[in-house]
Every structure is written in C-alpha cells, then in structure tokens.
Structure 1
Amino acid sequence: MSTPAADGFRMPAEWERHSRCWMAWPCRPETFTGGIDAACAAYAEVAQTIAQFEPVAMVCNQADVAEVSLACGPGIEVLPMPISDSWVRDTGPTFVVGGPGQVAGVDWGFNAWGNNYPDHQVDADLAKRMLEHLGLPRYQAPLILEGGSFHVDGEGTLITTEECLLNPNRNPNLGKAEIEEYLKEYLGVRQVIWLGQGYELDETDGHIDEIACFARPGVVLALTTDDTGDANFKIFQDNLDRLKSARDAQGRELEVIPLRQPERRDHNGVRLTLSYTNFYIANGGIVMPAYEDAADDEAFRTLRKVFPDREVLQVLALDIVKGGGGIHCITQQQPTG
C-alpha cells in the first residue's frame, strides 16, 4: 500500500489555510464529571468563536441533532455520525495536502488512549466515515496514534513525547526508529524532535498539545513553571532543554517562547491539565483557553504578540478540561490544499 509521503502528501502547519474546522459533540456523561450540560455549552461557545473565522462542522449522534443545532445556532454545520466520545483531534483523520487542491486523510489506529475505555469502536471508525463523507482519499496507517500527540511546522519537523508514542499501551511491538519511520511516511516530515514526558497525570499519557506547539517555523511555545515543588517543574525543564538543543528539518535552532502554567487545580481529586498551549489556530484568529486564573492575561498578551496578524480570543475552558482535554483536543483543522 502506498503512503502519503510516497504520493507527495505532507501534513501542513495549523496556521496554513483551512476549509473548515471539525468538532464532535459531547455524548459521554461519565467523561465530563463537571457536568455534560456545562461541557456542551463550552463546546458550543468554542464552535461559535471559531465560526467567526472559518466554517465549523459539528459531528454528533443522530439523536442529538436537534439539541446540537439549537445549542450551536445558525452557521454551524451539524452532521450525524455515530460517536461515543468527543475528542475529534484524536478520533478524526489527520488531513494531509499534496499538489494544488489535493487533500487526503490519514486514518490512524485508535484504542482509546491505551484502552482506557472498552467501548470505543465507533470512534475508531469515525475517521473513515468523515473521509467517506468528504469524498477524500484515505490512508490507513498501521499505527495507533492520536492527533493530539504530535505537532508539525509544515516544513518537515514534528514534535512529540516519548511518554506517549513509546508507551507500551499503544504500539508495544514497535521501537522508536520504527515509529519515526511511520511518522515520516504518513505525515511527510523529515525530522522528529522527541520531548520526554507530558503534563503530570495527563490521561492521554503525555500529548504534546498540553505542553508545547509550533507557533511558526523555528518557533515553539512551551509550558513552564517556576514552582520547584510542582511535579511538572522537572518535566518542563527537561523539555525546554531538549527543545533548545534541537534542530529542525531546516537545520535551524528553535526559538522557545515560554507560557507560564496556571495555578494547580484539582477536580474530584484529579489534577486538571490546565495549559495555554492547548489552543486552536483558525484562519485569521487564535481561539485560546481562559481558566479564571491570574496567568490568563499574561498568556493572552503572549499569544497576541506571537500572532500579531491574528485576532486572539479567549474562551473559558474549565468545563472542557474537566473532561480531560482542551480547545485543541476538541478541534481538527481541514486544510484547503
């Protein structure tokens, strides 16, 4: 079977032009222990905010179509497809682009973040259904992988974490070199930068979008903390060291811009993964989280400075994070090609 790279495809950077943003409606009450109604309201606000910049398509179960249409309002496309959870970054396809106007999708294997949830088969089939709906070519990758576990610069460089991609609950029979080769073949990258661990107690086993992301080629935003008593202190420091010593696919040193972690907050005895790197880059805009934290304004100013040509909007994301992810986790960009 051919691969995207062999056919001239690559994953574009998130800041390249989109045709739409995909989302999936909350449908699993046990995921959102802060209340599924509050989560739905937060998802709707994120969708409405992104829709100020680009079209939004919301996937939901057939029984929820009327509720979703009413909650999201006009301008949000509602598409009934079977789902059992609402993290489309991980369950939907990763879109790749080829020649002029060429767009395809990579369908990764999905096992619910290391078999955390046994009833995930409809989510494992979602990428295929989305690509069939769009009429786009589908590359089925022989790799368990989630879209939130990697970030690319569009110029051949990918960042990820060893904690997630080398976790035996994903691809126990594959080594680091083999996984790198699959990333290169299915995303069209040439250089993989490995960070160590992700956010403490992250249910996803260290997704990169909770701790670091590219802002543009050669520039990475990374979460930091000055609290030496925080378990994230050593994790983030090690990741900063790795980023500063790395070179991208173009041979450049990376400029690393810090984003201060919000104050620790627990929910039902579990630490929330509050992160300012978990934002969505839209056409002409940035949709970023707020947490009713003293660091919200500082993070907003940083992103406004880093993205001077985009309008930066904040959405209160606590009710999303209580489910285990953030704004980037619930969105997936479809490039124009």
Structure 2
Amino acid sequence: MYPKKLNYTMPAEWAAHERTFISWPVQDSMVYPELYEEVCAGYAEFIEAIAEFEPITVVVNSADLERVQGRFAQAGSAETGANDRISLLAIEHNDAWLRDNGPTFVVGPQGELGGVNWGFNAWGGKYAPWDLDDAVAPQILNTLNVKQFDAPLVLEGGSIHTDGEGTLLTTEECLLNLNRNPQLSREEIEAAVKNYVNVDQIIWLKRGLSGDETDGHIDNVACFAAPGKILLQVCNDPDDENYAITQENLAILSQAVDAQGRKLEIIPIPQPPQAFYEDTRLTLSYLNFYFVNGGIILPVFGGEAAETDRQAVKILGELYPQRRIRTVNGMAIIREGGNVHCTTQQMPAGRH
C-alpha cells in the first residue's frame, strides 16, 4: 500500500528535523578524482556547519570509516559542541549525493516516520556502477526501523520539492526523461509521485538550468519558500541560455495556483555570474541551499559573484528573520556537479 492511502505525507523541508543525513565522497566515482581532498574539505565544511544546528549522520564506506572518524574528532569545537552532533554510519555506496539516492522521508497521521525507497539509476545511467547507491535508502530505513515504501519509479530527491500542503514542484526535463522511466507515461509518473509523497497537485516547469547534468533538477531553479511562496533563480542576460529557461519558469509560475487554490507569490534571486571549469559550465545556484533547524546553509561563490552572494544573503535573511543564514563555500564541490542541497537529506521529527 502506498503512503497516500495510509495518510503519510512528505513534510516541507523547513519543518522541524530530527537530523540530517549526508554521504562521504568516494574518490573512484568522482568526475575529477584529483580534487578528492578539496572535495572532502568541502563536505567537512558542510557537515560542521549543519552540526551547528542539528544532529547529522554521515554515511561512510567501511574502508573510510576510521579516517573520517579521525577527521571529525580533530575538528571538534568545544565552543559550539557541534562535533557531538556528528555521527557516522557504515553503508557501502558508489557516490556521495544522498539527496538523490537516499530515502524520501514521510510522516504518518500519528507522527510516525516512514521512508520512500525510489529506484536509482545514476541520473539516467550516466555513472556506472550504481548498484550500491540503489541499496542505500533501504539500509538507512532499516537502521532507523521505520516503515519502508518501495516506489515503482526511478526518481531522485533533487527532482522534487513540496510545500507540505499538497503541492509539488518538478521539471519535465528530469521526471519525464526517457532515461529514467521509459515504460511509464506522464500520467503514470504523475500518479506515482502523488501517491508516494501524498500531494494533490504537481506544478511542472519545463527545464532546469543550462548544463545541469542531472537533466534539470528542480533544486537548482525553484523551491517553495513557504506555502504559496516560491523562490526562483532568474537570469537577466538575454545572451545566457538560462535567460530563456528562467523567463519560461517565471511565466509558468505566474499562471499557476497551488493545491489550496492560491496564486503564487514569486521571490526572485539573481543568478550568480557564469563560471567554468575546463570549458564546462558550472551549475551555480543559490537555490541549492538547505534548511536546518533555526537556520539555512547557503552556498556562496565569491570572486565575481560577491555582489550576487550579498543579494542572496539579504533576500533570504529578510525572508527568514528567525533563521541564521550560515554561508558555506559553494565552489568546493560544484565541479562534481552539485552543492549542499544535493548532498543532504532531511529526516523530519517524528516517531520511530
């Protein structure tokens, strides 16, 4: 039986968390394995920043367990006590994007936790092998001893975003891509998503950002800021491929209503300046931030992006005056294809 039938719902990301899950990088799977130490330093920064706000569990390959344990033992801070909130969980994995291969947590009518186990095929078969990654979510759910819902759908967590009140955002470019579920129609995919995260309405954007190798994950282009409010990254340069993409997104969202019948308030965040690595455009996005209890972990990019960094901090600070905006180095892992939201998965507060 699927979650909707049992009245389990995927909460909004800003709802209270029990903890965060994140995976530790695997050098063999990296696009640029020579940057392994730099990427590990970026992950460590994310982990320590999140631990300032809430507990965090790091999924680690058994071969790396001792070394990672030592790293965080040395980095412990007596002032914040953050290190006491970092724990490790040995689960073998191929790659380190837990947003996409981890479970999507849902909460039942009595506050009981469950988790959706989606199929995972490494973003349409782009990076083999992915067998270990496809088995990560069930192991996390088994460790937590929570109810597991196996969805008949290949889906990454970074491709969906919900307001917790019945509305979900996604892109056609990703969810309808033939490299995920070629045997299913649009209607079948939509029905499965609605049944497994318990939403009544899906707002479909067409495309994600230019060059995004995930095939247009929603978590780089738009997200709910609150029920009825959407943050949208916008590009104002007509010569940039993202101009047409973000203008189209703006037009779609301007006409949309949510599951409660509300017209959406759209809050634009300016796109950072273009950045490249070895002729590959990097998918820079302020919307790849992550909600934590009492705060927001926001990637910033520095250099030519200093002004848009400042604007992003200001916009989010004014939108969330009760949350501390904690910035992290958004350039640390972006060459591998994602940022802080892509690496994390929130576990809502609930019974288990």
Per the TM superposition, whether the score is higher than 0.5 is yes
Q: Aligned-pair RMSD on alpha carbons?
A: 1.0
2:158 to 122, 142, 148: 148
Partner of 1:167: 177
Question: Structure 1: how far apart are the matches of 2:122 and 2:31?
Answer: 16
Any stretches of 5+ residues in structure 1 without a counterpart? none
Question: 2:128 maps to which residue?
Answer: 118
Look up the match of 1:50.
Answer: 50
The 3 A distance-change label for structure 1 pair 200 and 170 is same
**Contact 1:28–1:84 (Cα < 8 Å) also in 2:** no
CA distance in 2, matches of 1:98, 1:290: 36
The CA distance in 2 between the partners of 1:242 and 1:31, in whole Å, is 35
Query: What residue in structure 1 maps to residue 90 of structure 2?
Result: 80
Which letter maps to 1:239?
A: N
**Following TM superposition, by how much is the alpha carbon of 1:101 offset from its aligned partner in structure 2, in angstroms?**
3.0
Aligned runs of 1:289-308 on 2, under 5 Å?
Answer: 289-292=299-302, 293-294=305-306, 295-308=308-321
> How far did 1:69 drift?
1.6
Letter in 2 for 1:60: V
1:280 aligned residue: 290
Tell whether 2:326 aligns with 1:324. no
Question: For 2:319 and 2:167, how far apart are their aligned partners in 1?
Answer: 19
SS at match of 2:54: coil
Following the alignment from structure 2 to structure 1, what is the Cα–Cα distance between the partners of residues 182 and 225? 32
Aligned position for 1:37: 37
Match of 1:251? 261
Q: Which runs of 4+ in 1 moved over 6 A?
A: none
Aligned-partner residue type, residue 188 of structure 1: N
**1:68: how far off?**
1.3
Contact 2:29 / 2:95 at 8 angstroms: preserved in 1? no
Deviation at 1:28, TM superposition (A): 2.9
Could you tell me how far apart the structure 2 residues matched to 1:177 and 1:71 are? Answer: 48
Question: How far has the Cα of 1:63 moved from its partner?
Answer: 1.0
Question: What is the number of residues matched between the two proteins?
Answer: 336
Alignment partner of 1:223 is 2:236: no
Counterpart for residue 196 of structure 1 = 206
- Residues in 1 aligned to 2:176 and 2:203: alpha-carbon distance in whole angstroms: 13
Name the one with the larger helix percent.
2
1:61-140 matches, cutoff 5 A: 61-73=61-73, 74-75=83-84, 76-140=86-150
Q: Secondary structure at the match of 1:100?
A: coil
Retained in 1: the 8 A contact 2:29–2:94? no
In 2, Cα distance between the equivalents of 1:72 and 1:85? 20
Which amino acid letter does the alignment assign opposite residue 234 of structure 1? A
**Structure 2 equivalent of residue 5 of structure 1:** 4
SS of match in other structure, 2:332: helix
Determine what percentage of the aligned residue pairs are the same residue: 47
- Alignment partner of 1:108: what SS? strand
Match of residue 16 from structure 1: 15
1:310 corresponds to? 323
Q: 1:290 to 1:32 in 2, by over 3 A?
A: farther
1:142 aligns to what SS in structure 2?
strand
Distance 2:87 2:339 in 1: 21
1:100 is displaced (CA, Å) by 2.7
Q: For 2:174, what is the secondary structure of its paired residue? A: helix
CA deviation string 1:242-298 (max 9, x = no partner)? 011000000001111111111111112211000000010001110010101121111
Cα distance in structure 1, aligned partners of 2:87 and 2:273: 36
Instruction: State the distance in 1 between where 2:327 and 2:101 align.
Output: 25
2:220 corresponds to 1:210:
yes
Q: Give the counterpart letter for 1:6 in structure 2.
A: K
2:221–2:233 CA contact under 8 A, matched in 1 = yes
Matched, 1:180 2:180: no
CA distance in 2, matches of 1:36, 1:291: 19
TM-score under structure 2 length normalisation: 0.94
Contact 2:49 2:297 in 1 (8 A): yes
Identify the range of structure 1 (72-81 vs 217-226) with the bigger mean alpha-carbon deviation: 72-81
What is the SS of the residue equivalent to 1:26?
coil
> Displacement, 1:99?
2.1
Change (3 A) 1:6 1:30: closer
- Which runs of 5 or more residues in structure 2 are unaligned? 74-82
